[in-house]
Chains A and B, each alone.
Chain A
Amino acid sequence: AQSVSQHNHHVILSEAASLELGCNYSYGGTVNLFWYVQYPGQHLQLLLKYFSGDPLVKGIKGFEAEFIKSKFSFNLRKPSVQWSDTAEYFCAVNALNNNDMRFGAGTRLTVKP
């Protein structure tokens, strides 16, 4: 069965710092990869997703993620965070042709103004 690991449980950064959140998955086949975000008091919403093609994916609000197949990773990055990026970030994996979606444990990001 597929599983998803997010090693950073809580990350604290100052504004303008660069961000990288790790996501690793365990599944040997083809996968679809997602990053969802939950801002305080709001619903889960999609940041970006990767299905195929260019392994560097750009999402909303200046976020991007890179799929590295050899490392089973899909790390999320942002060059310069803002206070408004404070939120919980979830990585999720769907194995191709498998009607399942697995979320990582989430990483709480706190950005200090």
Chain B
Amino acid sequence: DTEVTQTPKHLVMGMTNKKSLKCEQHMGHRAMYWYKQKAKKPPELMFVYSYEKLSINESVPSRFSPECPNSSLLNLHLHALQPEDSALYLCASSQWGITDTQYFGPGTRLTVL
């Protein structure tokens, strides 16, 4: 199984809402990532978890809060987002770390009204 799953596929939320994005992998990978991809732009790395510990935070605003409950799950909690946060949010995982092949999920298309 080389699949990374993400839920929901689409999410529309208001600026005062709180929502969460979920990501799951069952490949035994120990590194997981959140990327943000705006239309016609490349993916931008937001967070890296390695062995369930946050190892990098790319100066992402605090309205995005990652969580890694266990080695298979990765959440991204959203609160008080802005319309400019509308984007495709991609989750990825790799065997050990960032130099390994990353397996990407299909993404969650987020729209902030």
Complex CA–CA separation, A14 to B99 (angstroms): 34
Complex CA–CA separation, A29 to B99 (angstroms): 15
The proximity string for A residues 73-113 relative to B, scoring 1 for CB distances below 8 Å and 0 otherwise, is 00000000000000000100010100111111110000000
B44 to chain A, nearest CB (A): 8
Return chain B residues, CB-CB under 8 Å to A101.
Answer: 33, 45, 98, 102
Flag if A90 contacts B42 (CB, 8 Å): yes
Flag if B90 contacts A44 (CB, 8 Å): yes
Interface range, A side:
20 to 34
Complex CA–CA separation, A102 to B63 (angstroms): 23
Flag if B104 contacts A45 (CB, 8 Å): yes
**A8 within 8 A of partner (CB):** no
Identify which of A44, A51, A100, A104 contacts B45 (C-beta below 8 A). A100
Complex CA–CA separation, A79 to B31 (angstroms): 35
**A32 within 8 A of partner (CB):** yes
Nearest chain-A residue to B97 (Cβ)?
A99
Identify which of B42, B55, B107 contacts A105 (C-beta below 8 A). B42
Flag if A99 contacts B98 (CB, 8 Å): yes
Flag if B99 contacts A94 (CB, 8 Å): yes
Flag if B99 contacts A43 (CB, 8 Å): no
B9 to chain A, nearest CB (A): 12
Flag if B43 contacts A44 (CB, 8 Å): yes
Return chain B residues, CB-CB under 8 Å to A102.
Answer: 45
- 7 A-B residue pairs with CB within 8 Å: A4-B42, A44-B92, A44-B104, A99-B98, A101-B102, A103-B42, A104-B42
Residues of A within 8 A of B (CB): 4, 32, 36, 43-46, 49, 51, 90, 94, 96, 99-106
Residues of B within 8 A of A (CB): 4, 33, 41-45, 48, 50, 55-56, 58, 90, 92, 97-99, 101-107
In addition to A44-B43, A46-B102, A51-B99, 18 A-B residue pairs with Cβ atoms within 8 Å of each other are A32-B99, A43-B104, A43-B106, A43-B107, A44-B90, A44-B92, A44-B104, A45-B103, A46-B101, A49-B101, A90-B43, A94-B99, A99-B50, A99-B98, A100-B45, A102-B45, A103-B42, A104-B42
